[in-house]
Structure 1
């Protein structure tokens, strides 16, 4: 919420700044255009004044002066009394009304032959270009400073005097016309023009302003949309990984400041790939939307639900007490796992939850995500849907990536080897089989047990070459035993991923044929949890293996959730009772009841029963009495190399 408010404020400020920039940028050319137009109007007004003075001078010269002079020749000899009287009469009215300020009639030499004020001196110099132009027949008009004129300025016009009788130029007429009235009229016209121009320019600026405002608002909306899309998942509308990290970092900082904690939760859908593969990706998308809609109502104010990618979701829950985490997650899980109908197909939504607390399990986002991820994968491997990181014993995904990479190199460098633990017939104590167990002699960390690398291998494609290596090495050792007269059945552990691999049954059969081994001497052990994963695929793989004579053993029986109907439909050769039930047979009546039930169930299905983890003779005696077929455990032998089995046991292969 805080971030959205800050983004809105920043967006408003940036939009205002952008609009101001547009406004200023738009005002500059408008102002420049206005200045140019105003300058043009002023110049036009000045030209109009001059043109008006020119016209007025021409009228006076033609209508008043020329008729008054009559048939006069050149004016060098002066004017007659009649000519003076006629000029006086012709110009008195104009002078009286102020339409003419001063008037002089001059010879080409500059002599004043007539002046309205009676003077014979003054006027423009004969050397002035304007006077010379008038002497040659042109008219020269200028606006000049003239103290005798109203306002101190006048329009000076020098006009050739043309005799009406001859049509020849006989002198120069020097007129000073009042500029004030013309200027006032032009000023009124300019003011009107200014208003019109201002209105037009203002309208243009307003239109540009509206365009700028609309553009900035569109850009703001586009930027906000782009930012939202950059920080949110397009399918569900939830925050994406980047936004989740931002909010999680803020929650952690607030927790450090306030001394409070909270939880980071990763939620991963189980068997989501099956939905995409069977119903199509559009159905998978619909399922993801259903998940988002089911998780959101269970959140508190201040909590964040994000989609990190694929079928993985994450929650940041600030201020959540540790005691409330698991109950709340279980309620979310119950809501999430309700049946959903996708594309008309009812689906049971299943998910694994991994929870990490802060500050107990980490102080930064990456560390908490890694530990929540580790807990989530522990949930996927077990029967518990919600797992709280326990602070130890769980490898982080980063470590798994390292292990997976190193394991591939280990296969190439032959750092792996097999040990074998005998399976003993409880009826006579004879060894009738061995279980192959892989070990890793790491060049830096020494001898590694399976728990250090098999979980990482099962989560990646490396489990397939690893299983192939174990099968091939076990077959090679079995050839040696057969050569020495030991027809022991060799058990090899395989994973759910192997059962889902197309052609796996054919691969095993070809491998046995390559080594000249009868298929009945190979027993593949698969965990009960693996059988319950993709039930139909697993069942078909088991049937394909059994059809080739290869036996299947269900390992760790009782620890998973295989349904009895699944077992009934599979050709299972052996069921192994998990050591968790065997270890307290002598002290716990419930464990004894479970073991008896499993033995009876297995025999009813036509399967042999092997008990794991037999430590003391009393356990073996009880199991024998209960009808168990075989046993395996430290009572008989720890896992040893294949040559050590030869040295440890007598020639008959009987445990002493």
Structure 2
């Protein structure tokens, strides 16, 4: 419907434009015709007057002037002069080449007329007569006063005496105009036909030009409108068209009480295709994705390319569960294997879903929610994620956090807390995990969940990780100088491992602080290992070759399988707290944890259980062969001098009994997987 309205609007605009061209052309052609007719008529009359001038000149020179040689018009003509003049003009009068002829003195007296009368003629006070007296010739086409219809050419000119060559009077001559007028009418009729045909052809040519121009402009406008609202690569609607259609769909749903969804789709590891197969293959993949999404959705749904490898979907008139079912079908259609440049590929994508009106009624609000849900999907194991209030971070808020976090690093507002790992073998601290906190000047001490998701989506994570590594190595040098050689563990993200030269950067920091590589353990989340597998695996291999330990954090909730650990030489596996909390009462979790412990040991990895909070769980893990444990049973995350003080001055009830005491309020912040 949206496209049909645009077509009708362009068609109506084009018709009005052509009509304007046609009317303007017709007006111009008619004006040109009127001007040409007037010009032709004026030319014909001028031609008649000139013909009269020539004829009058001949009559005056050949007939009148010789007959009046030596005459004094003021005194009248002699009989001889009258006879000569009569004889000279009779033939012209008889043949009709002259209608009337008068010879007048300067006072206006008629001294000779063709009919013998001495009265009549033009008034002596007229401009024409005075001009003739002054020696000029006046010619005009006038109505014949002696006939009810018809015109004559009136000529008034001086009479020149033959011998003296001086003007002696005025010749008033009336010449026939009917023949000239008839010839003029014939010429004008022929001219009208020629002019009419020519102007008609001209109008048709102008009309054709106008029609062609209008059509070209309409096509150009349609092309420009299409280009302005469609992606040049895939032919799909672009971001501007997507927003317009989304507003329309939301407005319709609001008016009718309906519902629908705004969906953002982002391809996973699209950069690998461009880097490996070239941009032409990436372009072909984008076209394929657009085509498959369009085929998987309904006729009235919209698929748009918003930019890069991001697509947008509008699913109107569809309830929430049906939206998820439809998107699951679209995901299956999208992930069908394809072949690009001879290489088989499986397309993977993350879908972020925001429902209207449940999650908002403004396009920008829904896009933010869909974007947040999409990034949640990229960090988790589910490809299609429905926005949940409070369940995902707000990307707009992330921009503010990212900017503030950069300043916080420069102002040294970050602090490190440490949580010990306790060995089951001897009940001793086997190492400390560094957990970053933000001492915000207005909001107080912030846990990692308040700022790490935003940092991981930008380059801030690299600066943050560098700060944590330096501060952790400085703190480790402090407790080592006091006699405790505890290794330190630092969390790193997928962006860190994918950054060029990261292993060399870590090695440089170790050398700078004179720290043996074996005293540093880098913890990588399971989802990070499942990112760009080849690059991450290469980085892990380089780190291990330098003697730096690498642990898989939060194992069991992401994509990594134990078989993948054969190709990634990690030194430790940390079982996620989800499987540990009620381990002594959950047979299924017991079976999972026991299998992980046995298989990890078979691969030469140590096993650490996270989230140990009760002595019963600790005892079960020790019996199952787990190597280390972390959790509130031993200590909350605290600053390292507090741990050192508790270690050097243990209570009589046991070395780690004091670690179970609640820490100061600022130290009670829950730990978690952080860099």
- Same fold, judged at TM 0.5 (above): yes
Per-residue CA deviations over 1:64-114 (Å, capped at 9, x if unaligned) read 7689x599966744334865874685356335xxx5432334567755444
Q: Distance in 2 between matches of 1:546 and 1:35?
A: 98
Q: What displacement does 1:314 show?
A: 0.6
Q: Distance in 2 between matches of 1:383 and 1:545?
A: 27
Could you say if the C-alpha distance between residues 624 and 199 of structure 1 is closer, same or farther in structure 2, counting changes exceeding 3 Å? same
Which stretches in structure 2 are left out of the alignment for 5+ residues? 658-675
Could you say if the C-alpha distance between residues 511 and 102 of structure 1 is closer, same or farther in structure 2, counting changes exceeding 3 Å? same
Equivalent residues in 2 for 1:224-303, closer than 5 Å = 224-303=222-301
Q: What displacement does 1:212 show?
A: 2.7
Q: Distance in 2 between matches of 1:536 and 1:153?
A: 108
Contact map agreement 1:431 1:654 (CA 8 A) in 2: no
Q: Distance in 2 between matches of 1:166 and 1:431?
A: 151
Q: What displacement does 1:415 show?
A: 1.7
Q: Distance in 2 between matches of 1:239 and 1:381?
A: 28
In structure 2, the residue corresponding to 1:357 is in which secondary structure?
strand
Alignment match of 1:388 (pick from 386, 389, 411):
386
- Does structure 1 residue 94 correspond to structure 2 residue 95? yes
Contact map agreement 1:383 1:560 (CA 8 A) in 2: yes
Specify the alignment match of 1:196 in structure 2. 194
Contact map agreement 2:610 2:630 (CA 8 A) in 1: yes
Q: What displacement does 1:136 show?
A: 8.7
Contact map agreement 1:149 1:178 (CA 8 A) in 2: no
Q: Distance in 1 between matches of 2:632 and 2:549?
A: 25
Could you say if the C-alpha distance between residues 261 and 70 of structure 1 is closer, same or farther in structure 2, counting changes exceeding 3 Å? closer
Q: Distance in 1 between matches of 2:238 and 2:485?
A: 59
Q: What displacement does 1:235 show?
A: 1.0
Could you say if the C-alpha distance between residues 440 and 177 of structure 1 is closer, same or farther in structure 2, counting changes exceeding 3 Å? same
Equivalent residues in 2 for 1:574-585, closer than 5 Å = 574-585=572-583
Q: Which moved more, 1:302-311 or 1:644-653?
A: 644-653
Alignment match of 2:509 (pick from 511, 528, 545):
511
In structure 2, the residue corresponding to 1:48 is in which secondary structure?
helix
Q: Distance in 2 between matches of 1:114 and 1:479?
A: 145
Alignment match of 2:549 (pick from 548, 551, 560):
551
Q: Distance in 1 between matches of 2:538 and 2:580?
A: 31
Contact map agreement 1:101 1:148 (CA 8 A) in 2: no
Q: Distance in 1 between matches of 2:384 and 2:570?
A: 31
Specify the alignment match of 2:118 in structure 1. 120
Equivalent residues in 2 for 1:614-625, closer than 5 Å = 614-625=612-623
Equivalent residues in 2 for 1:22-421, closer than 5 Å = 22-26=21-25, 30-58=29-57, 76-80=76-80, 83=84, 86=87, 90=91, 93-94=94-95, 100-106=98-104, 111-124=109-122, 140-151=138-149, 153-158=151-156, 173-421=171-419
Contact map agreement 2:372 2:395 (CA 8 A) in 1: yes
Which stretches in structure 1 are left out of the alignment for 5+ residues? none
Q: TM-score, normalised by structure 1?
A: 0.91
Q: What displacement does 1:145 show?
A: 3.9
In structure 1, the residue corresponding to 2:47 is in which secondary structure?
helix
Could you say if the C-alpha distance between residues 136 and 496 of structure 1 is closer, same or farther in structure 2, counting changes exceeding 3 Å? closer
In structure 2, the residue corresponding to 1:542 is in which secondary structure?
helix
Contact map agreement 2:540 2:569 (CA 8 A) in 1: yes
In structure 1, the residue corresponding to 2:117 is in which secondary structure?
coil
Q: CA RMSD in A?
A: 2.9
Could you say if the C-alpha distance between residues 62 and 558 of structure 1 is closer, same or farther in structure 2, counting changes exceeding 3 Å? same
Q: Distance in 1 between matches of 2:391 and 2:537?
A: 33
- Does structure 1 residue 426 correspond to structure 2 residue 424? yes
Alignment match of 1:497 (pick from 472, 495, 500):
495
Could you say if the C-alpha distance between residues 79 and 175 of structure 1 is closer, same or farther in structure 2, counting changes exceeding 3 Å? farther
Q: TM-score, normalised by structure 2?
A: 0.89
Q: Distance in 2 between matches of 1:157 and 1:510?
A: 119
In structure 1, the residue corresponding to 2:79 is in which secondary structure?
coil
